[in-house]
Amino acid sequence: MSLAITGASGQLGRLVAAELSDEDPILLTRDPSKLDGARAFDFNAATPEAFEGVTRLLLISGSEVGSRVDGHKQAVDAAVAAGVRFIAYTSIPNPSDSNPIFVAAEHRATEEHIRASGVAWAFLRNNIYAEMQAGALQAAAATGQLVTNGGPTGFVTRADCARAAAAVLRGGDHDGREYDITGPEALGPAELAAIFTELTGRQVSAVQVDDDAFAAGLVEHAGLPEAVAKIYATFGAGARLGYSAVVSTAVKDLTGVEPTPLREALA
């Protein structure tokens, strides 16, 4: 059995590779100079040769948000043509057509293509990364405010996502399974503000704003392009509507270890 990881030089990919170091996985990355022994791989130019000898593949979604689907499909088709027998794909919870989160449609289309490919599969639906709240914590420490358009979210660490992915890639009864990979609890703005207050030693208040105001704030204070700010705002909209409030036992079930709480991750 030969295991492979796409995006192996990225933050999640490196963590998964470390978890699987004893299995000596094949590392696929756009720039193989970043990793010893890695194979060159580009979603949009994927060929069966990249997956030669691979039996189980972790397909970490690409980084070109908004234009990933064609590359994902090409990679899946190339993997199937090369004889890959199992694909685990990193998605998001609730990638339904009603989910307003910008990336939901990309993940849904990729999942559908994998299902139709005939290969055995599992979907690792990673919730919002806990580490992404570090910037909000820093802003709260400076201003005493948590400005948000969001709602309850089952924040999960990349390390927990990596351990779960490694467990699935190693083997077992995972065919056709959809795993919601989450932290131990769903935290809304009030709970986040309380955690930030504890960690910063400064009283932090949650300030709920609408999606347009949140995007405008990212443009004004973070210097993001308007189009990018609007994409970020969709994550808050989805959370506010309950699409990210998912909490499951999947991390513990797959790894035997409880997921890391957000407070611990930020501390």
215-267: pLDDT as tens digits: 999 999 889 999 999 999 999 999 999 999 999 999 999 999 999 999 999 99
Q: Decide if 157 contacts 260 (C-beta within 8 A).
A: yes
In whole angstroms, give the CA distance from residue 250 to residue 182: 7
Q: Give the pLDDT confidence score for residue 31 in this predicted structure.
A: 87
Band of pLDDT at residue 142, cut at 50, 70 and 90: very high
**DSSP class of residue 19?**
H
Residue 32 CA: distances (Å) to CA of 10, 60, 166: 12, 16, 21
State how beta strands 39-40 and 26-29 pair.
Answer: parallel
Is the pLDDT confidence value at 120 over 90?
Answer: yes
Alpha helices by DSSP H, the chain: 11-19, 69-82, 104-117, 134-143, 158-170, 189-200, 211-222, 226-240, 250-255, 262-266
Q: Give the pLDDT confidence score for residue 37 in this predicted structure.
A: 87
Is the pLDDT confidence value at 86 over 70?
Answer: yes
| CATH top class, domain 3-125+158-181+249-256 | alpha beta
Is the pLDDT confidence value at 65 over 90?
Answer: no
| 8: its two tokens | 């192996």
Write down the pTM of the prediction. Answer: 0.95
Q: Give the pLDDT confidence score for residue 66 in this predicted structure.
A: 74
Share of the chain above pLDDT 90, in %: 93
Q: Name the nearest CA neighbour of 59 among 1, 104, 114, 108.
A: 114
Residue 4 CA: distances (Å) to CA of 54, 162, 164, 248: 6, 14, 15, 26
105-118: pLDDT as tens digits: 999 999 999 999 99
Is the pLDDT confidence value at 45 over 70?
Answer: yes
How does the average pLDDT of the chain come out, rounded?
96
1-31: pLDDT as tens digits: 699 999 999 999 999 999 999 999 999 999 8
| 222: its two tokens | 């973070």
In whole angstroms, give the CA distance from residue 49 to residue 74: 13
Q: Give the pLDDT confidence score for residue 1 in this predicted structure.
A: 67
165-205: pLDDT as tens digits: 999 999 999 999 999 999 999 999 999 999 999 999 999 99
Q: Decide if 88 contacts 174 (C-beta within 8 A).
A: yes
Residue in this structure with the two tokens 């930030």, named with its chain if needed: 196
